[in-house]
Amino acid sequence: MRLLDRYLLRELWVPLLYCFTGFLVFWISFEFAGDVDDFQKSRLTSVEITRYYAALLPKLLVEIVAPISFLLALLYAVTQHSRHQELTAMRAAGIGLWRLCLPYWMTGLLLSAVSFWLNEAWVPGGVERADRILRGHTQSPAGEDPADWVRTVTFQNHRDRRLWLMDAFNKRSLKLSRPDVVWNAADGGRRKLVAAAAAYHEGAWVFDQAQLFSYDTEGNLTSMLQTNRLVVAEFDEVPEHIRNEIRVHARGSFREAKKLQFSIREIEDYLALRGSSLAARDTVWLKTRLYERYASPFTCLVVALIAIPFAAPSSRRNAYVGVASSLFIGFSYFVLKELSLAAGVGGHLEPWLAAWLPNLAFGLLGAWLLLRVR
């Protein structure tokens, strides 16, 4: 790494760390003031409160803190270089503006990669983990929270033509109560499996107090197997598929639906299992969310494109003007993102376009403005 690159990175990362810290302190303080009554009612300890905010933190980092902090820090750093004629001196030495921006591109790419990892590994289920911590002291003596049980669940595996019915499903332990599974056999007949309970263990479904009924192509019962414990390894479904089915159908308004976080793998698996049996409205919503998962991490890279043209020409401009510009840019980006996603979910835009439109629009605008910088 060149000495110049190390200097530019140092001048960027110092304000970036300040912005990160400031945003986190402000967010935690603001949220704590509103949540303190709930914490007292739930009798949470300081350790549990820390775990509660830790569960919500990845979503905040990806959606707000990382892009806004990077935008503020980048505008401030480039504005300072421009005010002190450092950019002019560097370019006079034969270093092009695009080459000068390389450390900023690399930082944006690094933040995008971290955001993608957080989106896949930690953001999904963060709100649910926080809710479980908040309800931790309301568990029954057996150690189960009644709110974890979802009653009367139906799940259809369209790919393998298998239908699951159950009296209840536990979102935390992933156990099934009184499951009833129906599917078509290879011989053209039908199979029906009824049990008192079921759980997924070491790659196979384990059914307790199970009865397996076999029917021929005419619907006549040909055999029945009754056992205290039946292990079935041929089912491709896993409990997470059933939980995702519940989460998809539990969404209400667009605002409530945004709280549901899925990983790319979860969405792709769900779409493959449900296939054409999925309602058109659900398909559009899931595909929009799928493309959003791909597009969202690149926000930090787009920030690098859009911030530099605003800050680089500002040799005589106060740094606060750059900060004001960053707020306007950030506000415009997030407004367009919300409108675009709403249009995609509503079927007014193609799902891929709804997810990528903000990045494409601001990225192309930033590249065009950067080409015009003199």
**What is the distance between the alpha carbons of residues 91 and 103, in angstroms, rounded to a whole number?**
15
- Separation CA 241–CA 155 (nearest Å): 8
Rounded Cα–Cα distance for residues 231 and 299 (Å): 46
pLDDT value for 330: 75
- Encode pLDDT of 267-326 as tens digits: 998 888 887 778 888 899 999 999 999 999 999 999 888 888 877 765 555 556 656 766
Cα–Cα dist 77/129, whole Å: 38
For 196, which DSSP code? S
**45-86 confidence digits (pLDDT tens):** 999 999 999 999 998 899 889 998 998 899 888 888 888 888
Residue 275: HSE in the Cβ half-sphere, 13 Å Cα cutoff: 9
Q: What is the pLDDT of residues 222-280, one digit of tens each?
A: 999 999 999 999 999 999 999 988 888 776 544 555 566 788 988 998 888 887 778 88
- The closest of 145, 124, 127, 126 to 136, measured between CA atoms, is 145
Q: What is the pTM for the complete model shown?
A: 0.82
pLDDT, mean over the chain? 87
Question: pLDDT tens, 86-98?
Answer: 888 888 888 888 8
Run of H or E residues at 244 = helix 239-250
Task: For residue 149, give the H/E element and its range.
Answer: strand 149-157
Q: What angle do CA 278, 279, 281 make, to 5 degrees?
A: 130
> In the chain, pLDDT over 70 holds for what percent of residues?
91
Contact 363, 306 (CB under 8 A): yes
Please tell me the distance from the alpha carbon of residue 338 to that of residue 344, in angstroms, as a whole number: 10
